């Protein structure tokens, strides 16, 4: 096996990138943007207009998360390609596919501030388009998570973490499909995303602390 695939430094860099993704994703969605997107379209437009710096900072956090996610996809492929080449390639494709969709959805969100004065309802619609693109991206990420769980199970990662990543993949798939097909049920499913936060945080810490995968 090539030395690159065994590098603790490279493995820890995967953990560091994962940490950036978790922190930026949660900050953008929960702390900066999420509080603005509740209520009627008029209330949402007014909240965005009153807190434009928060909206723009959420965009910056999402861009950083996106760049880290692309880098992590490549690092994981380097680490895992000799373990199961076909699975590693598939995981890379699905994670990069998610990145493409999230990047496209960010373009919709970035257009919202310019629309607030003349077309506030369209500005709100752009936030809805962003959420839709994100949800479709998470379907691809759900598949990636299932593939990653299998790849992790073939190596040094504890079985409970690999199972957690598999569970997270199922949560992402179920949650996004519910938002697309049965949005009335989506809110009741939201607590399940705690599984994703716990599982991915555990993997992040394992990579950072042990340098093994």
Per-residue tens of pLDDT for the chain, all 213 residues: 444 446 899 999 999 999 999 999 999 999 999 999 999 999 999 999 999 999 999 999 999 999 999 999 999 999 999 999 999 999 999 999 999 999 999 999 999 999 999 999 999 999 999 999 999 999 999 999 999 999 999 999 999 999 999 999 999 999 999 999 999 999 899 999 999 999 999 999 999 999 999
Cα separation of 51 and 43, whole Å?
Answer: 12
> What per-residue confidence (pLDDT) applies to 130?
95
> What per-residue confidence (pLDDT) applies to 6?
61
Residue at token pair 């097909």: 181
Cα separation of 118 and 171, whole Å?
Answer: 39
> What per-residue confidence (pLDDT) applies to 3?
40
How many other C-beta atoms lie within 10 A of the C-beta of residue 77? 17
Cα separation of 35 and 192, whole Å?
Answer: 20
> What per-residue confidence (pLDDT) applies to 80?
97
> What per-residue confidence (pLDDT) applies to 205?
98
Nearest to 75 by CA among 132, 21, 129, 130: 21
> What per-residue confidence (pLDDT) applies to 170?
98
3-state secondary structure of 81: coil
């Amino acid at each position: 096996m090539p030395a690159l695939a065994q590098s603790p430094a490279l493995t820890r860099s995967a953990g560091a990138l994962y940490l950036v993704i978790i922190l930026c994703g949660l900050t953008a969605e929960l702390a900066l943007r999420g509080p603005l997107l509740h209520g009627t379209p008029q209330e949402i437009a007014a909240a965005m207009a009153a807190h434009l710096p928060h909206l723009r900072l959420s965009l910056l956090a999402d861009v950083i998360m996106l760049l880290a996610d692309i880098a992590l996809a490549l690092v994981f492929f380097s680490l895992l390609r000799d373990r199961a080449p076909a699975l590693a390639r598939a995981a890379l494709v699905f994670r990069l596919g998610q990145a493409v969709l999230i990047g496209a959805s960010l373009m919709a969100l970035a257009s919202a501030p310019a629309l607030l004065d003349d077309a506030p309802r369209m500005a709100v619609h752009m936030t809805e388009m962003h959420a839709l693109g994100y949800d479709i991206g998470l379907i691809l990420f759900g598949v990636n998570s299932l593939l990653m769980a299998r790849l992790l199970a073939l190596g040094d990662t504890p079985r409970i973490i690999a199972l957690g990543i598999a569970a997270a993949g199922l949560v992402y798939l179920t949650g996004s499909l519910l938002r697309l097909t049965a949005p009335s049920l989506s809110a009741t499913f939201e607590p399940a995303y705690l599984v994703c936060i716990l599982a991915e945080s555990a993997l992040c810490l394992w990579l950072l602390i042990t340098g093994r995968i």
